[in-house]
């Protein structure tokens, strides 16, 4: 296959500082989520429920993973197209061998201004220091409850709250620019633990972010009635700890930010189900085996690893990435009600394959 880089291709705008590539809804390619491993040491009921694997999905063989060199090469190309933020995710990214080395190499890419990672925190106390020294700027740790029994029930009896809190403490100690805590709220499961989490983290460095339970993948048995709307979570918190909205830090920020009115910090809400933010979604996603996805819920992908391993040039790869982004029209969360009602939904990528 011969692919020629179209210079300047349709919608590719360039000034002396930065290239920008826009999709069909005029959303600029700005962020890249990298899934560096599809395996995980947890089995969260909303992501990879116990028993759902490997019957529906076989974990990738190591040979199928993009190598560190391939990840760095593709990230460099994405940076040339205007990506300045990288988020490393998984599966559980701290299980990926030589992760600190990868982070170091990614931090050296021209144009990458922000390097973040999302982890379940179970191995963080051992790795936080080396990740920080390697050049990681920000870290997000997932923690859905402080209750040890419930925590185990949610994650398939694989880890402990104690390990995760130790990881968070270490992340604070090594002084990441920002430490966030992701809480997926499932109605009737952990919604009565929201205030405990607020009480624990209020006034401390980590910023809590409550996330609506999403219909990611095909195996979490999602039902609309299991979603506690972010507006309800705001009310629950506000009744005990008054909060008020803050301006976004930047256009397209995923979380709506609120500050505690007593000055003890802030809290965020990610309302992908009840208040979709597709119109400002500037994120491309790369799976562990090098497939690019234009949306977290997309059944479609484009294989970049094939081109890499067939020895194609950077131009050919750039051209393919451009083609994917410039033809992007995804807005699943906006269309969710119609898509689900139609019962013709194609199988989606799983969250652990694509990294949240
Ligand atoms: N294993 C790491 C972790 O759990 O933080 C990184 C990968 S995980 C797929 C990334 C994020 O997606 C986590 O914060 C997790 O809680 C969130 N997540 C997974 N499934 C979800 C779902 N169905 N709805 C909302 N958030 C989800
Ligand atoms: Fe693993 Fe993260 Fe998925 Fe939980 S949410 S099963 S920790 S990948
Ligand atoms: Fe972006 Fe797709 Fe999520 Fe909409 S549904 S915000 S397009 S990832």
pLDDT tens-digit readout, 311-354: 999 999 999 999 999 999 999 999 988 888 886 666 788 888 88
Cα-to-centroid distance, 338 and ligand 3 (Å): 15
| Residue 78: band (very low, low, confident or very high) from pLDDT cuts 50, 70, 90 | very high
Please report the pLDDT score of residue 242 as a whole number. 98
pLDDT of 56: 56
Residue 47 CA to ligand 1 center (angstroms) comes to: 7
Which residue, by CA, sits nearest to atom 2 of ligand 3?
Answer: 295
**Three-class SS state of 5:** coil
Evaluate: CB of 354 within 6 angstroms of ligand 1. Answer: no
* pLDDT, tens only, 217-270: 888 889 999 999 999 999 999 999 999 999 988 877 889 999 999 999 999 999
pLDDT attached to residue 354: 84
The reported pLDDT for the residue numbered 53 is 58
Q: State whether the beta carbon of 171 lies less than 6 angstroms from ligand 1.
A: no
Q: Which residue is listed with tokens 């009310």?
A: 235
Q: Closest ligand to 329 CA? A: 3
Expressed in angstroms and rounded, the spacing between residue 127 Cα and the centre of ligand 3 is 31
Q: Rounded to the nearest whole angstrom, what is the distance from the C-alpha of residue 41 to the centroid of ligand 2?
A: 8
What is the Å distance from ligand 1's center to 356 Cα?
5
Determine the average pLDDT of the residues in 94-110.
Answer: 98
Q: For residue 353, which of 74, 54, 143, 101 has the smallest C-alpha distance?
A: 54
Query: In the chain, what are the domain boundaries?
Result: 31-49+67-354
Res. 13 pLDDT band, cuts 50 70 90:
low
User: Within a 13 Å sphere around the CA of 80, how many CA atoms are in the beta-carbon half?
Assistant: 13
Which among 64, 102, 81 has a CA at the least distance from the CA of 22? 81
Ligand at minimal distance from the CA of 94 is 1
Ligand with an atom nearest the CA of residue 90? 1
**CATH H superfamily, domain 31-49+67-354:** Aldolase class I (3.20.20.70)
Distance between CA atoms of 221 and 185, rounded to whole angstroms?
Answer: 15
Nearest atom (ligand 2) to Cα of 48:
6
pLDDT in tens, 129-158: 999 999 999 999 999 999 999 999 999 999
Which range among 48-62, 92-106, 190-204, 252-266 shows the weakest confidence by mean pLDDT? 48-62
Residue 63: Cβ within 10 Å count: 7
- Ligand 3 centre to CA of 298 (Å) is 9
What pLDDT does residue 345 have?
65
According to the model, what pLDDT value does residue 344 have?
A: 66
Ligand 3 atom at shortest distance from the alpha carbon of 285: 8
User: Whole-prediction pTM value?
Assistant: 0.94
Mean pLDDT of 170-190: 98
The alpha helices in the chain, defined as continuous H runs, are 68-80, 99-107, 124-134, 148-155, 161-173, 194-201, 230-240, 304-309, 314-326, 332-342, 351-354
């Amino acid at each position: 296959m011969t692919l020629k880089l179209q210079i300047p291709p349709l919608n590719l705008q360039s000034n002396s500082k930065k290239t920008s590539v826009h999709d069909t809804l005029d959303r600029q390619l700005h962020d890249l989520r990298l899934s560096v491993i599809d395996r995980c040491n947890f089995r969260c009921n909303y992501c990879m429920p116990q028993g759902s694997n490997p019957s529906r999905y076989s974990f990738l063989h190591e040979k199928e993973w993009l190598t560190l060199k391939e990840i760095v090469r593709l990230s460099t190309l994405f940076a040339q197209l205007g990506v300045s933020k990288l988020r490393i995710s998984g599966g559980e990214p701290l299980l990926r061998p030589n992760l600190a080395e990868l982070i170091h190499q990614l931090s050296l890419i021209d144009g990458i201004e922000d390097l973040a990672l999302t982890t379940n925190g179970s191995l963080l106390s051992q790795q936080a220091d080396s990740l920080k020294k390697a050049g990681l700027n920000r870290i997000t740790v997932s923690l859905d409850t402080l209750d040890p029994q419930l925590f185990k029930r949610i994650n398939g009896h694989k880890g402990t709250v104690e390990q995760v809190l130790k990881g968070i403490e270490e992340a604070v100690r090594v002084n990441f620019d920002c430490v966030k805590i992701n809480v997926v709220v499932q109605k009737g499961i952990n919604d009565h633990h929201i205030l405990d989490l607020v009480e624990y983290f209020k006034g401390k460095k980590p910023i809590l972010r409550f996330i609506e339970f999403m219909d990611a993948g095909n195996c979490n048995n999602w039902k609309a009635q299991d979603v506690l709307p972010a507006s309800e979570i705001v009310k629950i918190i506000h009744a005990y700890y008054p909060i008020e909205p803050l301006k976004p830090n930047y256009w397209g920020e995923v979380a709506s930010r609120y500050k505690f009115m007593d000055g003890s910090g802030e809290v965020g809400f990610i309302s992908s189900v009840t208040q979709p933010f597709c119109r400002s979604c500037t994120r491309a996603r790369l799976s562990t085996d090098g497939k690019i996805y234009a949306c977290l819920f997309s059944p479609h992908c484009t294989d970049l690893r094939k081109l890499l391993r067939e020895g194609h040039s950077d131009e050919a790869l750039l051209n393919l990435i451009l083609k994917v982004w410039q033809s992007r029209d995804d807005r699943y969360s906006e269309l969710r009600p119609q898509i689900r009602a139609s019962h013709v939904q194609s199988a989606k990528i799983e969250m652990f394959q694509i990294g949240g």
